[in-house]
Structure 1
Amino acid sequence: MIKRWLLMATFVGTLFSAGCSVFGYRGSTETPNFDIVDQVGDAVIRRYPTRLAADTVVDTDDVEQAREKGFKRLAGYIFGDNTPRIKIAMTAPVAQSTHKIEMTAPVSQARMETGWRIRFFLPSRFNQANAPQPTDNRVVLQSLPPETYAVLQFSHSRSESAVHRHITLLEHTLSGSRWQPSGPAVAWFYDPPWTLPFLRRNEVAIPVHETPDTSAQ
């Protein structure tokens, strides 16, 4: 009887969480800490401290298929495909490179391949010393240095065309400002695919550096 009640409670809890995610409610889902240091039009300049991420690279021409395959790989890691086989709390966002990247093939092979990097940020309590180690060699832990990003938030579609449209808008917003791009753009997705489109939190982000203000000269 108790076992049946526990199973029912778990089932109801799962349905509740799924129902909340439909409406864009993320509950206690952890997101990376950052400081807002400036705003340029609709873009926000955020400074992120050191973070630990689990990365995987998916070699396919379809950007949305890469997102799906990469997420499944990372989901395996956080749900126990690791040493010592523990479950890691889900965080947001899931990050995806917006252009194919070059990567060194595994082990000692020297040939170069291309792929889409999909990234999951680990909860802040983890670092390189205490983080569970992936058992899938396609998943790699990366310690990210402090970074400053220009970020533009949007909702609805997160298709490749929608992402690139907002990157173009972000680049236009930064043009002529004291914040200039210092690396390739990335897309961040905070909600599962079944979230109502107008409630989705999507972001495009570009690493930036601050240039001297010459307007007074």
Structure 2
Amino acid sequence: MAARLPAILSSLLLGACSTLGIRSGTEEPRFETVERIGAVEIRRYAPRIAAETEVPGAEDAARNEGFRRLAGYIFGGNARRDRIAMTAPVAQAPGERIAMTAPVAQSGDAGGWRIRFFMPARHTLETLPVPDDPRVTLAVVPEEIVAVLRFSGLPRSEAVAQNAAALTTALEASAWVPAGPVQAWFYDPPWTVPALRRNEVAVPVARR
């Protein structure tokens, strides 16, 4: 028990930190800040690898289902039973058009959502294990420039939509134009105090 005490204390400390929105030890993709436009930050990201899955249905429910699938992969649901470090953010964006089946089709939503976990930078496609779940795939996200607007609170679909609209409006008078769909990025676990959560909406951009 004495030998395990430091590990137990460390886990308790990390849990307390995450409750308060302190993301100690959680890797994030590196980026370069290109410009700031008020509360909007223009960032350049290098290529990075993501585990991703496409989920049909409503936005919030699709995010939860996608998270479960991807968490299964990094927590050992793969060909080598490897555990892969959790990183931030979890990304959600409109996905490909997905064929729907009942009863979900009754919602009238014929689209889907792409949920992504970004892999630790030390990995390559060759070093990552193959997912057990065929709905989970590995992909290289190419270098991109994105406009990002940060917000706190519960990351419900209504909050995402409101901040996505604010981001689009902020870009209208700038030197940047959206070049793809708006994504939502979530950095904190569900137990983090809502007012201290870090959420972001992001959209690929190009110069006018």
For normalisation by structure 1, the TM-score amounts to 0.86
Query: Is the 2:26–2:87 contact (alpha carbons within 8 Å) kept by the matching residues of 1?
Result: yes
Counting matched residue pairs gives 199
Aligned to 2:25: 28
Question: What is the CA distance between 1:31 and its match in structure 2?
Answer: 0.2
- Gaps (5+ residues) in structure 1? 106-112, 212-217
In structure 2, the partner of 1:75 is 71
Kindly state the Cα deviation for residue 133 of structure 1 after the two structures are TM-superposed.
Answer: 1.4
Determine the structure 1 residue equivalent to 2:179: 182
RMSD of equivalent CA atoms: 1.8
Among candidates 144, 160, 170, match of residue 173 of structure 1: 170
Match of residue 107 from structure 2: none
Q: How do residues 119-134 of structure 1 correspond to structure 2 at under 5 angstroms?
A: 119-134=116-131
Instruction: Give the alignment of 1:18-167 within 5 angstroms.
Output: 18-61=15-58, 63-97=59-93, 99=94, 101-103=96-98, 114-167=111-164
Letter matched to residue 133 of structure 2: D
2:18 aligned counterpart, secondary structure: helix
Separation of aligned partners in 1, 2:15 and 2:157? 25
Amino acid at match of 1:96: Q
SS of the aligned residue for 1:83 comes to coil
Unpaired runs of 5+ residues, structure 2, are 101-109
SS at match of 1:71: helix
User: For 1:9-55, what per-residue CA distance to the aligned partner results, in whole angstroms no more than 9, with x for missing partners?
Assistant: 54443332221110011111000000011112211100000000000
**Partner AA of 2:83 in structure 1:** K
Q: CA–CA distance in 2 between the matches of 1:96 and 1:6?
A: 41
Deviations 1:61-88 (A, max 9, x none): 2x21211111111111111111211111
Structure with higher Rg: it is 1
Helix, strand or coil at the partner of 1:55: strand
Say which SS state the counterpart of residue 13 (structure 1) adopts: helix
Displacement of 1:94 in angstroms is 0.3
